[in-house]
Amino acid sequence: MMSNTIKTICAEQWRYWLRTKVATTVLILGSVLTLAALVVNAFHIEEAAHARENLQHEAEERFLSQPDKHPHRMVHYGHYVFRTPTPLSVIEPGVDTYTGNAIFLEGHRQNSAMFAEQRQSAGLTRFSSLTPSFLALVLAPLFIILIGYGSVSREREAGTLTLLLTQGASRWQLVLGKLVALMLASSIFLLPLLLACLYVAFSNESALVVTLFCLGYALYFLLWAVVVTACSTLFEKSSASFTVLIVIWMSACILLPRMGSSVATSVEPSIGKLEADFKVEEKLRNLGDGHDVNDPAFVKLKQELLDKYNVNSVDDLPVNFRGIVAQYSEQRQAVVINEFAESRMQEELAQARIARQFGWLSPTVALRSFSTLLAGTSIETHHRFLREAEILRMQFVQGLNKVHVEKLDYKLDMNRNSSEEAADKAVVEASNWAVLSEFSFQPEAPMARLSSAAMYCLQLLLWVGVAALLLKLAVRRLNP
Amino acid sequence: MTSKSVISASELSVRIDQRTILDNLNFEVGKGEVFALLGGNGAGKSTTLKTFLGLMKPSTGTASVMGMSVAENTNEVQKSVAYLPESVTLYGHLSGYENIRYFLSVAGVEKTDDAIHEALNKVALQENAWHNTLSNYSKGMRQKTAIALAILRNAPVLFLDEPTSGLDPAAIDEFNSLVSELANNGATIFMVTHDVYGACQVAHRIVLLSNGKLTGSFERVGDTPIDTEAVHAAFAGRK
């Protein structure tokens, strides 16, 4: 139980903050910013979720309401699939901010996700995006430093430390009183996050995940409160304490996370999108043009079919040869496309894993990894979305190709460009467009997310241990 | 240490980085005695005070207060003593009254408002200043606030660091009367000072400290203050 002396020192520290305009301003500014970011983000995500729902519905309706058409035109007409963000993305949008959560499905190509916040905006928006996690990870520690850097050193500078110690307060009581006060101040920044988590807990999210998510942030704030109090205890001058803390903040919150990304891209370099696209195009060209049944790439396929159906000409086949070529070509193209996509995803994953190792050097990186994995907004979740969307794309395109094979006469198909009338005949009924499967992307199961985040929880705990040792050293060296 | 001594130094030495700050000090201070340790800058006065307050540890020997070794019973000793620093460093954002309340609370001493008002009246701090923030106080007013705190602590032992430094003559007289009254009521007062005149006025015994060593001692006989001239001569090294 907390001693009365600790409570008294804690209460006095609060009275000082409340009477000092600077500290009060920092406290109010920090909590208002966090709350505002949460509310704006929650509204934005709620609105975006509704918009996505409408767009998904609209896209399906528009697709199904297409008139009788050539099935391959429907392949190119395409279709959208949307991913509903996880409930915790209100607080931790993670990679969603950059990757987006809608994909345009069409034949012969694999589109990346779109409608990301950062892709819709001008470049400068990147610096003005105040997400709740950014506030908690980067700005809250700065606020904690601004409030607490002088909590103990001020007593020494003013000479009140001697008087306090000679009243019978032990060094630990004094420092713990200051630490508890700073922890309470830090909880002002945590409170909006807790409220948001409470809201999320009622939004179909695992209570265990939400609780651990909150505990992660609470641990992070505790860590900063301990580091700030330790530095304030260790250094004789408040100015020295402030300078050292700002250097620590810049290293932990700004430099090391970026250094992690830079090191990751250097150790695991990946080719640029344009270069990758050229390589894919080059490989696809070698596979032949799926729109041209006379392409030499399909000679073997043609012969196999003629042999199978024991006929001499594709005109005599019971199926549409153009459709067969489209199916065959799409299948082969998908192998190439997926090979490149997998390779890119493996590179991104390797980079993410290297960047996450910087959690041993920076608690900010540790919490970032922990919270994105728990929230289901990590690169792993995004990759799963891309893979599931690709399966859907193949079902959709091959479904239309099947209609092409089975429902459209080959001769009509081949004559489609001879006249307008012929083109009108080379169509299938609109009832065939019902090839869309329902797409509902779900984040990983809670236990899977917990298991992948465990390592980064360990990093955070290690940091708290280091901070506690620093505090112990500081208290031992505390002299008036 | 005699059975009557409240404060005692026994072969007390303090060394910092191979430098001897206090060198084999031996003295005893009895109950109700006003004891002044007189010395120039760098003589070791503050180190002596810090050692008795438990803020520094002796290298050898013992500093005892009320029969307890300060080094071994720091917290108990700190709860039994009151300390008045040279430049009274209370909190500028609090009033005199709030400062007293806070420090009493840290010390675990509970006092009623009436008791605090009585102490503030006793040290003659103007009533209209009690609830003003300390940033508006003069040095004398701060000194009075700290003395009121010491009184309220009911501490049997008071350590005073240059208590009259920076006070005007009227305030010094008021302070001396207060110290005498506290001593008459049984408080043991240990002060370190370089003010020869002030020490002679109020102290029952003056001990000279130079380069960490005790170099002389003067004792009051009856009600007659210690001879200022004699102490001054010894202090200035003329004797």
Residue A310 has pLDDT above 70, yes or no: yes
Q: What are the chain B neighbours of A479 within 8 Å (beta carbons)? A: 55
Give the number of A-B residue pairs with CB atoms closer than 8 Å: 67
Cα nearest neighbour of B160 on chain A: A163
Residue A352 has pLDDT above 80, yes or no: yes
> What is d(CA A211, CA A65) in angstroms, rounded to the nearest whole number?
46
Q: Summarize the confidence of residues A311-325 as an average pLDDT.
A: 88
Domain-located, residue B129: no
pLDDT at A227: 97
> What is d(CA A69, CA A427) in angstroms, rounded to the nearest whole number?
5
Q: What residue segments make up the domains of chain A, in order of their start? A: 4-476
Confidence of residue A123 (pLDDT cuts 50, 70, 90): very low
Tell me whether residues B103 and A159 touch, CB distance under 8 A.
no
- The amino acid that residue A285 corresponds to is R
Q: Is this prediction's ipTM beyond 0.90?
A: no
Beta-bridge partners for A361? none
List pLDDT tens digits, range A393-444.
Answer: 888 888 888 988 888 888 888 888 888 888 888 888 888 888 777 777 888 8
Tell me whether residues A163 and B103 touch, CB distance under 8 A.
yes
pLDDT at A228: 98
Q: What are the chain B neighbours of A12 within 8 Å (beta carbons)? A: 91, 102
pLDDT at A365: 96
Domain-located, residue B135: no
Write the Ramachandran bin of B211: left for phi over 0, alpha for psi from -120 to 50, otherwise beta. left
Q: Where are the beta strands (DSSP E) in A121-204?
A: none
Cα four-point dihedral sign A338, A344, A348, A354 = positive
Residue A254 has pLDDT above 70, yes or no: yes
Among candidates B176, B190, B152, which has minimal Cα distance to B63? Answer: B190
Beta-bridge partners for B209? B39, B214
Say how many Å lie between the first and final Cα of chain B, rounded. 29
CA distance A371 to chain B (A): 41
Cα nearest neighbour of A158 on chain B: B89
Domain-located, residue B98: no
Residue A328 has pLDDT above 70, yes or no: yes
Q: What are the chain A neighbours of B78 within 8 Å (beta carbons)? A: 165-168
Please tell me which of the candidates B55, B79, B91 has its beta carbon nearest to residue A162. Answer: B55
Q: What are the chain B neighbours of A160 within 8 Å (beta carbons)? A: 89-91
Burial of A1 (0-12, 13-18, 19+ CB in 10 A): exposed
Tell me whether residues B108 and A168 touch, CB distance under 8 A.
yes
Q: How many domains does chain B have?
A: 1
Domain-located, residue B123: no
Confidence of residue A118 (pLDDT cuts 50, 70, 90): very low
Q: What is the mean pLDDT of chain A?
A: 86
Confidence of residue A119 (pLDDT cuts 50, 70, 90): very low
pLDDT at A336: 87
- What is the CB-side half-sphere exposure of residue B217 using CA atoms within 13 A? 12
> What is d(CA A459, CA A360) in angstroms, rounded to the nearest whole number?
6
**Beta-sheet pairing, B34-39 with B205-210:** parallel
Which of A59-63, A109-113, A133-137, B184-188 ranks highest by mean pLDDT? B184-188
pLDDT at B71: 92
- The amino acid that residue A245 corresponds to is L
For residue B24, give its domain range: 5-92+155-235
Give percent of chain A above pLDDT 90.
Answer: 35
Domain-located, residue B219: yes
Angle at B173 between CA B169 and CA B177, to 5 degrees: 170
Domain-located, residue B142: no
Cα four-point dihedral sign A285, A286, A289, A290 = negative
Question: With a CB-CB cutoff of 8 Å, which residues 160-189 of chain B face chain A?
Answer: none
Q: Return the higher-pLDDT residue of B81 and A129.
A: B81
Confidence of residue A60 (pLDDT cuts 50, 70, 90): confident
CATH of the domain at B223: 3.40.50.300
Tell me whether residues B93 and A16 touch, CB distance under 8 A.
yes
**Does the CB of B93 have a partner CB in chain A at under 8 Å?**
yes
Confidence of residue A2 (pLDDT cuts 50, 70, 90): low
List pLDDT tens digits, range A440-474.
Answer: 788 889 999 999 999 999 999 999 999 999 999 99
Q: What are the chain B neighbours of A8 within 8 Å (beta carbons)? A: 102, 105-106
pLDDT at A106: 76
Which tokens hold the place of B36? 């002044």
pLDDT at A1: 55
3-state SS record for chain B: CCCCEEEEEEEEEEEECCEEEEEEEEEEEECCCEEEEEECCCCCHHHHHHHHHCCCCCCEEEEEECCEECCCCHHHHHHHEEEECCCCCCCCCCEHHHHHHHHHHHHCCCCCHHHHHHHHHHCCCCHHHCCCEHHHCCHHHHHHHHHHHHHHCCCCEEEEECCCCCCCHHHHHHHHHHHHHHHHCCCEEEEEECCHHHHHHHCCEEEEEECCEEEEEEECECCECCCHHHHHHHHCCCC
What does pTM read for this prediction? 0.83
Domain-located, residue B187: yes
Q: Which of B106, B135, B142, B145 is the best residue to mutate to test the A interface, defined by the most A CB atoms within 10 Å of its own CB?
A: B106
List chain B pLDDT tens, one digit each, 239 residues: 444 789 999 999 999 888 999 999 999 999 999 999 998 888 899 899 999 999 899 999 999 999 999 999 998 898 889 888 887 788 999 999 999 999 999 988 899 999 999 999 988 889 999 999 998 898 888 888 988 998 898 889 999 988 887 777 887 888 888 888 889 989 999 999 888 888 898 999 999 999 999 998 999 888 888 888 888 888 877 54
Q: Which of A3, A166, A477 is the best residue to mutate to test the B interface, defined by the most B CB atoms within 10 Å of its own CB?
A: A166
List pLDDT tens digits, range A144-179.
Answer: 999 999 999 999 998 899 889 888 888 999 999 999
